[in-house]
Amino acid sequence: MTATKPTVLFVCVHNAGRSQMAAGWLQALAGDRVEVLSAGSAPKDEINPVAVQAMAEEGVDIAGNTPKVLTVEAVKESDVVITMGCGDACPIFPGKRYEDWQLMSMKYADAMSLDDLVEKWNAT
């Protein structure tokens, strides 16, 4: 019997900051043991450069990622759906694990506050 990889979906409205950073961390930590997705209900055209810089300083490259639109299919294929405290509505399906991480919005973030965020993530 072959075990399938778990799939984790990170969701925030613009998919340009928090969800991209969280996805980048999980991908860096888990490697190919976990399928990592991220999406948003109203994705921006590009990832927030401050998030890209903060992650690069930690050795995690998210510069090549692009914001994606949240789809029902992405939620269906995920084992865990994590929203970033942004009020995004996700479809609810039985058998999925849902979490809401209350993280500061990128629109209020600067390099200093992102450093604090990265430090908190590193401590967990």
Which residue numbers are catalytic? 12, 86, 90
Residue 10, SS3 per DSSP: strand
> Beta strands of 24-112 (E only): which ranges?
35-39, 80-83, 97-100
- Tell me which H or E stretch contains 65: none
Amino acid at 103: L
What span, in angstroms and rounded, lies between the C-alpha atoms of 33 and 1? 17
